């Protein structure tokens, strides 16, 4: 393995600030980093800010416009009567599905990060890790009832796609992008978790497991291991055991601000304890003048009380689990699976 670390983000102009702040967290803990940014037509102001990061931290940022690739997927969906994925134009969350052909063929592996992540340690061990499959990811805490929506068994592993270590040689060899296009073309139902569901279904049994510390989300960050296992209702064989959870909580490598339900660090009154850390990177970034917006979403006001007492935090936990399960049950009823 060489000394360089290749990292990829997918961000349109609305999310370029979040990608830039995540890059700064990478650069605080890592050297010799090449960033590949799957992008569209950025404003000159945002391009200048990214160039400033590139110059100041002596890293490389490569801009890869993926609008044409997304149009291929968009046309596959919107102009194909067999596909049920009719939820409007394909957004930038799908850009990573074309990562093998978008990135230079000389790159044989890549760490993909969602824009709503902060890196909290050195990534060289992750980057050099052997991948037994097309990519490796952290197992998701998402309630096991979701498995029914995608025709998975209860003990089938379900992965979160916010952090991926991709074996690009294997991705290209297996023609992963054609597999994705063919799947979407013949899709019978829309997916609750969109591209994450697609990756889990298309590459089932070809996904390697990463340690939990490489994708630490709110639920796994905030609650005790027993509560986390209870929330997901997943067998230990398809999630993590208590020792693995405890170790991850003490050795977090990547923080993932996943889920609009919990708010986001760039939104005022969010629920993340790591928002101050995100704010630190914001203040030391080219976007330092940005002011967190006040979300108008009802959940911010409804759950703001849970900031003030640990007891109410656990009440929130049970209500959240009930809400998630009810949402999934409604989807199952619509599809007549229950």
Nearest to 6 by CA among 166, 133, 139, 151: 166
39 forms bridges with which residues in the sheet? Answer: 65
Question: Within a domain: residue 138?
Answer: yes
Predicted TM-score (pTM) of this structure: 0.85
Residue 338 lies in a domain: no
Structural domain of 80: 5-297
Over residues 169-196, the mean pLDDT reads 84
- Average pLDDT over every residue of 161-188: 91
pLDDT in tens, 20-69: 999 999 999 999 999 999 998 899 999 999 999 999 999 999 999 888 77
**Residues contacting residue 165 through CB under 8 Å, at least 6 positions apart:** 109, 110, 111, 112, 126, 127, 129, 131, 135, 136, 137, 208, 210
* CATH number for position 224: 3.90.550.10
Does 145 map to a domain?
yes
Tell me, yes or no, whether 323 lies in a domain.
Answer: no
Q: Is residue 330 part of a domain?
A: no
Instruction: Identify whether 287 is part of a domain.
Output: yes
Spatial distance between the Cα atoms of 162 and 116, rounded to a whole number of angstroms: 8
- When pLDDT is cut at 50, 70 and 90, the band that residue 305 belongs to is very low
Contact in structure between 10 and 38 (CB atoms under 8 Å) = yes
Give the confidence band of 71 by pLDDT, cuts at 50, 70, 90.
confident
- How confident is the model over 92-125, as pLDDT tens digits? 778 888 999 999 999 999 999 999 999 999 999 9
Quick: pLDDT tens for 203-231.
Answer: 999 999 999 999 998 878 878 888 887 77
Q: How many domains does the chain have?
A: 1
Place of tokens 């093998």: 100
Residue 113 belongs to a domain: yes
259 is a domain residue: yes
Average pLDDT over residues 330-338: 57
Q: What is the pLDDT of residue 182?
A: 87
């Amino acid at each position: 393995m060489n000394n360089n670390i290749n990292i990829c983000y997918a961000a349109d102009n609305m999310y370029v600030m979040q990608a830039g702040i995540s890059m700064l967290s990478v650069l605080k803990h890592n050297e010799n980093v090449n960033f590949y940014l799957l992008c569209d037509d950025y404003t000159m102001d945002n391009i200048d800010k990214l160039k400033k990061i590139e110059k100041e931290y002596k890293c490389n940022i490569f801009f890869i416009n993926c609008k044409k690739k997304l149009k291929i997927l968009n046309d596959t969906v919107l102009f194909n009567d067999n596909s049920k994925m009719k939820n409007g134009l394909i957004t930038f969350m799908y850009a990573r599905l074309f990562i093998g052909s978008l990135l230079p063929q000389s790159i044989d592996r890549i760490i993909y990060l969602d824009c709503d992540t902060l890196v909290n340690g050195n990534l060289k061990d992750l980057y050099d890790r052997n991948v037994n499959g097309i990519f490796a990811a952290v197992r998701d805490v998402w309630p096991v009832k979701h498995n029914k929506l995608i025709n998975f068994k209860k003990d089938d592993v379900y992965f979160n796609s916010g952090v991926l270590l991709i074996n690009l040689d294997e991705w290209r060899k297996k023609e992963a992008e054609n597999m994705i296009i063919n799947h979407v073309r013949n899709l019978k139902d829309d997916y609750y978790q969109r591209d994450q569901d697609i990756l889990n279904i298309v590459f089932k049994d070809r996904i390697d497991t990463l340690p939990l510390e490489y994708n630490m989300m709110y639920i796994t960050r905030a609650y005790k291991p027993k509560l986390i296992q209870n929330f997901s209702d997943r067998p230990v064989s398809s999630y993590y055991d208590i020792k693995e959870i405890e170790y991850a909580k003490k050795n977090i490598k990547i923080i993932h601000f996943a889920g609009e339900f919990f708010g986001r660090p760039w939104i005022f009154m969010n629920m993340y304890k790591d928002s101050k850390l995100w704010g630190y990177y914001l203040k030391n970034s080219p976007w330092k003048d940005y002011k967190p917006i006040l979300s108008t979403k009802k959940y911010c006001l409804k759950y703001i009380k849970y900031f003030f007492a640990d007891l109410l935090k656990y009440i929130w936990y049970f209500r959240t689990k009930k809400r998630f399960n009810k949402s999934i049950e409604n989807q199952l009823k619509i599809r007549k699976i229950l």
